[in-house]
């Protein structure tokens, strides 16, 4: 089996793994960012991940690299090659007409930092930026062409006075967009001879276009058929339901607002022709992380959750209850739209705690499944990487993605609710 180096640029950390083309996880690490002021911290986190995986898997050599990342974050790069502070997905923006999730951030950048905007030559998504640093072409990665207006198009750019030439050309996910050896090693000593980067990512291996983290999580949880539900967790949390037809426009009372805790969205699915009805819970994991940072930094996520859930008087109980309450509210919003959710495949940081998974199952009355690769973005990366190695000349279609996902993505654990009382279970903490 060939090994794939998969990385995902999250909000607060880079996650990386070595996964083979049969879907077996060989090594995993999480590298937090030191600060948020420069995308160069993404490279530093990548270097730390390479070192960790080199120690975990001595002698391993990847056959390909694929990177995904959070959206709609963008990295501005000047004509001189300087990378400015990223425009993060959580930065405040003003509502604009049109479906684009990215252009409001550029509009705010243009308004509040006109000098930085004038200096910018290109805007990259995080995964495209780091792939470019490694040696890939300048690209913007789309799941498929149906996503173009949700990124940008000529009409929306013209209405905002933004030159569309500021964006690298679109390519669809799963394409080979370059090879290792023309980028990172020429710009830093971190890719010097005999370094972990040189050993794990040898020159000449292909760099494959990874999509946004949300899309990769849909693939990595196997949520590719109508009715399937992905529950992606992290600093924020999403519940994404695959539906066969585009739902009608959301009622005004259910649409998310800039200050809302939940945000309902209708987007094309990872599989062209299907649709995603999603709820974004903006501060899910961040509530617990803020509590942890206030006095429990020495305790990692899993043990802290265990302490809270086994002690009804623990001061962190309020944070967990707030997360649980937001989750129930998000499920309720989907119910209002006539989309019942009975079973979810969960991924991300929360999925690593068996106590937390059982808590959510008991609280909601739903069944939760955890994949063997709990960070589903990395599992989705591996699926696209394996497809690209098999057919390097093009991008995979929906049928190929489904087939490869079925072969590589497997469920490790299933959690059933202790009570059938459902949302109003009296056993809910």
Q: Are 3-216 and 220-424 in the same CATH fold?
A: yes
As a whole number, mean pLDDT of residues 4-26 equals 95
- Examine the pLDDT at 272 and tell me if it is beyond 60: yes
Per cent of the chain over pLDDT 70 is 91
pLDDT tens per residue, range 47-96: 899 999 999 999 999 999 999 998 889 999 999 989 999 999 888 888 78
pLDDT tens per residue, range 244-264: 988 776 655 444 433 334 478
Question: Quick one: tokens of 380?
Answer: 């989705």
pTM summary value: 0.90
Identify the CATH class of 220-424. Answer: alpha beta
Confidence band, pLDDT 50/70/90 cuts, at residue 195 = confident
Identify the CATH class of 3-216. Answer: alpha beta
Domain ranges of the chain: 3-216, 220-424
pLDDT tens per residue, range 292-337: 777 777 777 778 888 888 888 888 888 888 888 889 989 988 888 8
């Amino acid at each position: 089996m060939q090994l794939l180096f998969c990385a995902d640029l999250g909000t607060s950390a880079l996650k990386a793994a070595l996964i083979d083309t049969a879907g077996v996880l060989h090594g995993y690490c999480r590298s937090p960012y030191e600060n948020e002021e420069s995308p160069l911290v993404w490279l530093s986190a990548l270097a730390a991940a390479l070192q960790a995986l080199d120690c975990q898997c001595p002698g391993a050599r990847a056959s390909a690299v694929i990177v995904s990342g959070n959206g709609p974050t963008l990295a501005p790069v000047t004509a001189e090659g300087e990378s400015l502070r990223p425009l993060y997905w959580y930065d405040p923006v003003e509502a604009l007409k049109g479906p684009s999730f990215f252009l409001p951030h550029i509009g705010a950048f243009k308004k509040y930092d006109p000098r930085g905007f004038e200096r910018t030559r290109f805007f990259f998504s995080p995964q495209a930026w780091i792939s470019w640093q490694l040696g890939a072409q300048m690209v913007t990665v789309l799941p498929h062409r149906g996503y173009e207006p949700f990124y940008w198009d000529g009409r929306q750019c013209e209405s905002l006075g933004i030159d569309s030439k500021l964006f690298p050309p679109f390519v669809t996910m799963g394409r080979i967009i370059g090879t290792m050896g023309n980028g990172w090693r020429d710009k830093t000593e971190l890719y010097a001879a005999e370094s972990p980067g040189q050993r794990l990512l040898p020159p000449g291996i292909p760099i494959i276009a990874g999509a946004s983290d949300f899309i990769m999580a849909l693939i990595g949880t196997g949520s590719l058929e109508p009715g399937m539900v992905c529950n992606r967790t992290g600093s924020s949390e999403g519940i994404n339901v695959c539906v066969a037809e585009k739902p009608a426009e959301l009622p005004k009372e259910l649409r998310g607002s800039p200050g809302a805790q939940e945000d309902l969205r209708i987007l094309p699915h990872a599989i062209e022709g299907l649709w995603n009805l999603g709820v974004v819970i903006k501060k899910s994991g961040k509530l617990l992380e803020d509590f942890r940072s206030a006095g429990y930094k020495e305790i990692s996520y899993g043990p802290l959750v265990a302490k809270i859930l086994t002690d009804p008087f623990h001061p962190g109980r309020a944070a967990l209850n707030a997360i649980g309450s937001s989750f129930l509210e998000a499920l309720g919003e989907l119910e209002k739209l006539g989309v019942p959710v009975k079973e979810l495949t969960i991924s991300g940081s929360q999925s690593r705690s068996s106590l937390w998974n059982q808590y959510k199952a008991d609280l909601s009355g739903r069944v939760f499944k955890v994949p063997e690769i709990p960070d589903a973005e990395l599992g989705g990366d591996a699926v696209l990487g394996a497809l690209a190695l098999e057919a390097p000349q093009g991008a995979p279609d929906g049928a190929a993605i489904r087939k490869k996902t079925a072969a590589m993505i497997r469920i490790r654990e299933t959690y059933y609710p202790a009570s059938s009382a459902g949302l109003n279970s009296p056993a809910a903490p």
